[in-house]
Structure 1
Amino acid sequence: MDYLWIAVVVLWMYLCDQSAAQLSYSVSEEANKGLVVGNIVKDLNLNLQDLDTRDVRIVSTYSKTYFGLNRQTGALFVNERIDREELCPSLAKCSLKIQTVLNNPLNVHRIEISVLDINDNSPRFSDTMHAINISESSIQGDRYLLPVAEDADIGSNALKTYKLSPNEFFSLDVQSGGEHDVSAELVLQKPLDREKQPTLKLVLTAMDGGKPPRTGTTNLVVNVIDVNDNAPTFEKSLYKSSVKENAPVGTVVIKLNATDPDEGVNGQVVYSVVKRGTLDLSNIFQLNPETGEITVKGELDFEETPAFEVRVQAKDFGHSPRSSHTKLLIEIMDVNDNAPEITITSLMTPVKEDAEQGTIVALISISDKDGGNNGVTHCKLLGSVPFKLISNYKNDYSLVVDGSLDREQTPEYNVTITALDEGSPPLSSTRVITVHVSDVNDNAPRFTAPVINVYVKENSPTGSVLCSVKALDADLDNNAKVSYTLVDSRNHRNTPITAAVNINSDTGDIVSLQTFNFEELKTFQFKVQATDSGVPPLSSNVTVNVFILDENDNSPTILAPYSEHGSVNSESIPYSAEAGYFVAKIRAVDADSGYNALLSYHLTEPKGNNLFRIGTSTGEIRTKRRMSDNDLKSHPLVVLVCDNGEPSLSATVSIDVVVVESTADIQTQFRHVPIKEDSFSDLNLYLLIAIVAVSVIFLLSLITLIAVRCHRTESSFSRYSAPMITTHPDGSWSYSKSTQQYDIKPNTLLRAFSYFSDYFNERPH
């Protein structure tokens, strides 16, 4: 609304052609608010009451109300900050024009207020920094125009001169062409060297004429333009770097830096590797030509190449390129990537089992390709073996005997050697050495038993193999090669044993040199010596008991009644003889033994068998019943005496039994009536005792042998030491010792039991 009112007033003033007085005042810019510029009431000859009655107003066309009217005093005062440079930029004279409007009647008075300049603006450069490029090849006296500063103040407060900061290369030439035309030039006083000082920083100061003067500055940056007058330079003539051998591809080894004091292409450096001879490092290292960074490209191996020497060239890109060289020594740092190696330099095997302690078995060398602690090794044996390691020198060791050796118990040893290095983490390796133990003759041949029992049938043909002896020797080769001999001895007839048997020195087969007769020789004994072929030879003996087994080769011999060959014995019995009357007794013997000598008696003639009977075991002939009138007076009897052999042998005797009327007529020449009917004859008693004894011994032996058989573990020797009881398909039992056997069949045992049964049953009670 105020703006609208002002516009109306101004328009109305313009249209009204009436004269108006003009007042002139002056005020300094930046005057404080409230500063009194003048008194309108006094200067317009008004009264203070007119301020209200005529509604006196101050109007202007400015956006800001720079001045105000004090209605109590009529004073015109500064109401807003006045900036001359803002109101009147670039004008030497600056004033504010306002109007005083009075009503009743309407009067307009112009007021022109001159704004006086004060030095409130410093000279100002358009840029705080100004760069000047000067070639280092410039000569003394060359000039370079400097930027001009601006000062918003005028008159004496305006820009007056320039000043340059002290330096040894430039001077300042200030030129003035008028009040607002002051310039300056930079004059080169001394040649420049970009490599020494590529940039010069100067301060250019502009000063006005105020009191005190105000200044403005700008930074002058003098860039010295390079020429290629310097070669790239490395910091060192020799670089040293290290990298681990297990470094992955891309690992930075070192970053070389060659500096060229020139700039631009003159100072732009490119790096390259200088090849030497046939050595090509392009597969191992990679050089960045721009940064000088060397990285790992291939595999590194400390053990193969512990260090590399690389020559690197640095060259600039100047018009006439300049270059320099340096040497790089790359040391490969060892890591523990190699396990110790165990080398057997000498192996003295086999080792004799009687080797003394300290005997060298093998020479061992330990090596580790790594360096430092990674290559320091320690060696030891694993497990319990009769050996030990002795350190000879550094990593050389001797494997020596450290205990007793026994080839028969352990013919070879697998000696495990382990080597461990001191790396982190430590690596180890293991090697197994097979140590063979050679034989010495420290074991005598050994028979399976100290005594060998051999059972031979009589009448065996000459040249029969009685048995084979076998001695085992735990040694090897010649030390275990056994030969057999008979130890000189004599039998019961004081004849050399070599006359009866012979032995095969290689096989141990014992062969008979004669036919044996059980009735003449039942047993004999000799010793066999087994001797090895070692040096010195060792030997041992075994006792061989030869038992002659009886065969049924003798027929029974009838002792009574005695008769000439072809004659018939005669016996008489009374007609009144009762049943069981003793007629005669047949006595017979057999030169054989055992069952072959067990005799039985039988009546072979059927005639008269209904009147007489004979005891099968006693040989006694007795009557079965009383005589009758129908019976014959003479009874010829044939008695068959059989042994129990296989096959059975027999003998016969003929007896004529004559029946007489009275006992007085009985011939008793050949009668042998027993004193006591139930008594045994001496021969039968002996036979019975012998049979019982043999049976008891047989049963005890059978039980013992079965027990021994159950506890035996080496079946290969059973033919010499263990009797055997076998069952044949025909139902018989077989008892064998060594290669000879007793064959006992059930019918034989039944016949023996029958013999005793008949004997006791036939005895009169």
Structure 2
Amino acid sequence: MIFQCVVAMGRDGQKGPIWIQIIALLCSCGASAAQLSFSVPEEVDKGTVVGNLAKDLQISVDELLKRDLRIVSGNSKRFFDVDLRAGTLFVCDRIDREELCPHTAKCSLNIEAILSNPMLLHRIEVQITDINDNAPSFRQKEMTLNISESSSTGERYLLPIANDADTGNNAVKSYKLSANEYFSLDVQSSGQHSESAELVLQKSLDREKKSVIHLTFTAFDGGKPPRSGTLKITVQVMDVNDNTPIFSQSLYKAQVPENALFQTSILTVSATDLDEGINSEIVYSFIERGNFNPKALFSINPDTGEITVIGKIDYEENAAYDIRIQAKDKGTPSRSVHGKLLVEVIDVNDNAPEILITSLMSPVREDAEVGTVVALVTVTDKDGGNNGLTDATVVGPVPFKLKLNYKNYYSLIVDGPLDRESILCYNVTIIATDEGSPPLSSTNILTVDISDVNDNAPLFSEPVRNVFVKENSAVGSTVSCITASDPDTAENAKIRYSLLDDLSKNIPITSIVNINSETGDIISLQ
């Protein structure tokens, strides 16, 4: 069932409609009789109605009150409660989506409504929708750029990007630079987490005419109405360190194996400066961008440009790192250039294959045909490349083998005759090995029981038994006992005895003696 209701009070205390969509999914499953799903924006006022529990659960308000409806939350903080007189679920504390679910697109709170007499539990999922309650912000409110008056038009200066705790359309969407005659703004985006903003010099600077330029760099989100955050940029026009360092490459590429030891050297970046003396001495550093701080994993020698490992590198967490580096001279004012470094993480075979057994058909009939499926087997490996390629096989002399269905999906099938009377069950060992160097492997042992079929005839303890009967033996006396055995089990092993008449004689044997069908006792009848 889908309901919609209007909440009359907004976040700022002013009256305005807030539409809340309610989806109620009712099912019967023992003590958990129903599941409800509601949606409410974050930051709504305390007392905001989320949904009508009495209506959605089809229970009267009086019954809710009698059965002491209670709201139970798994969180240490309680966000919702129930108005037993109205039968409604309402907000009882401030809900901040960014605090509950930082950096995630979906946010929900799971609570339970419990009724007594009889006890009945209803699961409730409340989707917390994002509102544009956070403005974009920069880590610093102000920054200063020292730019030489001899800088050439077209030169670029990397700007910090803004962060916004909101998600989706409410996140940062655009940037704007205040109107001026010297600089333009170039914003480039090549996907999530790879956005950059640069000041581009459009007109030559002249310190004697204008020594300080004030700019405002504004970030806008996509909310309606949009919110914004600003960064005040002060450009100090400096005199005559007129050569900017130049990296030897526009893009550096390096490879590092995962789990590399600390202080492992990756590569050395190099920049040159055509100036002389202190104006040509260069200091290297990383540029922090967004939420990724290269200093957590790597170190760059400020004098030599050598980059080394100082943190744990894990291919399974991140296969590559896009890093910005800076070369800055020691002139007054200093000049700097930024470059790109792409570090590719080489996978190391540090994860053994994992074997998952599903749909085990046990026991297996002893007359099962070759090719009968006994179990489904899946092999996975978290590593990449050849390190993630696996092969699986059955170990030892057992009448089973693995059949490859598709990639890492196998069927364990019967590969030979089964005889329960010889072997009641098999411990089948499956080994999976990857193609890493050195290879890693893992094993999984599953027990396959063999069930009986009636494939064995009873056997007498003796092929011929001579029985001598005394004359005048009492009628009903036991003159002998015949025994037989059957290697099968249960019903297949139960034996019944009977006599066969010898047609070559005139007197039927059954007129002289009889045999107990269950015990095999031969009884005299004359």
Choose between structure 1 and 2 for higher RCO, CA contacts under 8 A separated by at least 6 residues: 2
Structure with a larger share of its residues in strand = 2
Structure with a larger share of its residues in helix = 1
* TM-score, length-scaled by structure 2: 0.46
* TM-score, length-scaled by structure 1: 0.32
Q: Which has the larger radius of gyration?
A: 1
